[in-house]
Amino acid sequence: MTISSSLNAGVTGLNANATRLAAISDNISNSATAGYKRVQTSFQSMVLGDTGAGSYSAGGVRASTMRLIEENGTLISSNNPTDLAIKGRGFLPVTTEAAMSSGGPLPMYMMTTGSFRPDASGTLRNESGMVLLGVPVGTDGTVPTFPRDSMGGLRPIQIPMNQSDHQPTGRISLGVNLPSTRTVAGAADDPIEMAVEYYNNLGMSDRLNVSFEPNVPAEGEPASNSWTLRIFDTDGETELATHVLQFGAGAANGGRLLSIDGDTEATGEIAVEAVRGGDVQPIAINLGRLGEPGGMSQLGDRFQPASITKDGAPIGALAAVEVDAKGMLNAVYDNGTVRTLAKVPVVDVPNPNGLAMLSGQVYRTTKESGAFFLWDAGDGPVGTVEGFAREESATDVAHELTQMIQTQRAYSSNAKVIQTVDEMLQETTNIKR
């Protein structure tokens, strides 16, 4: 009976609009939830077909929902360096704290944003217990090769909160001017001495004693423009290196370092090995490019240590943690040392909207989403990793309120259909009276 189908159609209309209202309510209630992805409701008509000439059976409507995970919310700044968000496509790799504690294989979960902070062990986790994953970086700062389609290379990221660090000196640059008047006949041959500080393997300040001895020519001979460089260890007695430096005197190369030990093709670097407690610390000492300005020089009549620089740093405590756009998580120490701890890759799937959503804006792969792949941040289709940032909810409250008004009207209209059918059925039963 077509009138009965009208009643059923009205009921399906009530159910469909109730589903739509539930989705709207969820969207509005999460309008301030960081990383929330809104739910969209779509209606599809159900057709039962003709039941006979001149009659029609209403099939009604069916509601379906889809979470628009690929929609990005606005990024807002925060004051926590490990508040992370993806600027563009992609997800942060995370796992559960429970899985990490069990010691078994780590399951892959994903988030578009998260407020991660170190716990008592220094592991970065958010308030929901999700642990940030990354690729540990070697002590030399290089990122090892890791599988892109599995969890094999990912580990929970830990911050060395109570550890100190240092960086031994590996390179010293000497920008020193030697007086040209000391390499002429009759000049004093006493050496010019100076001390150069460096940081040893144990993070302590140490020094090299450097001596410049002028090679004074015999009476009546031209200026030698030559010096003997001697480098001694801290005790001033253990000689680490001896080299003869030759400077130019012509119009084009006057005062410039031309050769080291007679070698005009040298790199301008000499190597020494400082020894402390039996441990060797190699240090490269740069004197400047041969034949070019800068570095060592021999001009005028004054000794001037114009520029002496070195790398390395003494022992220092952790001062800050930073994450750059490429996903490199760096520890910054108060001695100026910056050490890269881990690389956070960006996870991508072929169909983000096919991911299954769990509590806390966490997602996992499904058959519909496809398998995940780990990209370097900013490469391929994925975006960059932003520190000091959170992703706002993708809910547009004004749009949702408009949808709510439409849903309310549609629900009232379907209720009116049911009321009308009820009155018509009442009229039908009154025929017998």
Per residue in 330-344, pLDDT (tens digit) is 999 888 888 999 999
Q: Is residue 346 part of a domain?
A: yes
Confidence class of residue 278 from pLDDT cuts 50, 70 and 90?
Answer: confident
Residue 73 lies in a domain: no
Q: For 53-75, what is the mean pLDDT?
A: 88
pLDDT score at 139: 79
Q: What is the pLDDT of residue 290?
A: 95
Nearest in space to 114 (alpha carbons), one of 100, 101, 128:
128
320 lies in some domain: no
318 falls within a domain? no
Flag whether pLDDT at 156 surpasses 80: yes
For residues 263 and 355, state if they share a domain: no
- DSSP E strands: which ranges in 186-303? 192-199, 205-214, 226-232, 239-247, 257-260, 269-276, 279-286, 297-298
What pLDDT is recorded for position 426?
A: 87
Q: How do beta strands 117-118 and 61-67 pair?
A: unpaired
Residue 173 confidence (pLDDT)? 96
pLDDT over 90, % of the chain: 73
CB 125 within 8 Å of CB 131: yes
Question: In the predicted model, is pLDDT for residue 1 greater than 60?
Answer: no
Q: Is the domain of 300 the same as that of 180?
A: yes
pLDDT band (50, 70, 90) for residue 209: very high
* Residues 339 and 236 occupy one common structural domain: no
* Predicted confidence (pLDDT) at residue 353 exceeds the cutoff of 90: yes
Type of residue found at 15: N
Backbone φ, ψ for residue 222 (5° rounding): -70, 165
Cα 373–Cα 374–Cα 380 angle in degrees, nearest 5: 90
Domain that holds residue 140: 78-162+325-391
Residues 183 and 99 both lie in one domain: no
Q: What value does the mean pLDDT take over residues 187-201?
A: 94
On whether both 192 and 300 belong to a single domain, the answer is yes
Least confident span in 234-238, 247-251, 353-357, 413-417: 234-238
* 357 band by pLDDT with thresholds 50, 70 and 90: very high
- Which residues, other chains included, contact 388 with Cβ-Cβ below 8 Å and sequence gap of 6+? 77, 78, 79, 80, 81, 83
Least confident window among 156-160, 169-173, 236-240: 236-240
What is the tens place of the pLDDT at every residue in 385-405? 999 999 999 999 999 999 999
Q: 10 Å Cβ neighbour count for 142?
A: 9
Whether 319 is in a domain gets the answer no
- Asked if residue 225 and residue 206 are part of one domain, the reply reads yes
Quick check: is 423 in a domain?
Answer: yes
Task: Based on the fold, state whether residues 213 and 291 are members of the same structural domain.
Answer: yes
pLDDT in tens, 282-329: 999 999 999 998 889 999 999 999 899 999 888 888 889 999 999 999
287 with 350, same domain?
A: no
> Does residue 257 surpass a pLDDT of 80?
yes
Does one domain contain both 281 and 213? yes
Q: How confident is the model at residue 51 (pLDDT cuts 50, 70, 90)?
A: low
Distance (Å) of CA 404 to CA 12, 25, 27, 28: 18, 9, 11, 10
Per-residue pLDDT, 33: 95
Pairing of strands 328-333, 338-343: antiparallel
Q: Is there a single domain that holds both residue 111 and residue 182?
A: no
pLDDT-derived band at 54 (thresholds 50, 70, 90) equals: low
Looking at the structure, tell me whether residues 35 and 150 fall in a common domain: no
- Name the pLDDT band for 35 (thresholds 50, 70, 90): very high
The verdict on residue 184 lying in a domain is yes
Among 259, 279, 311, give the residue marking a domain's end.
311
Identify whether 288 is part of a domain. yes
In a shared domain, residues 386 and 401: no
Domain count, the chain: 3
Beta carbons of 387 and 82 less than 8 angstroms apart = yes
Spatial distance between the Cα atoms of 336 and 323, rounded to a whole number of angstroms: 16
Q: Write down the mean pLDDT value for the chain.
A: 92
**424 or 257: which leads in pLDDT:** 257
Q: How confident is the model at residue 141 (pLDDT cuts 50, 70, 90)?
A: confident
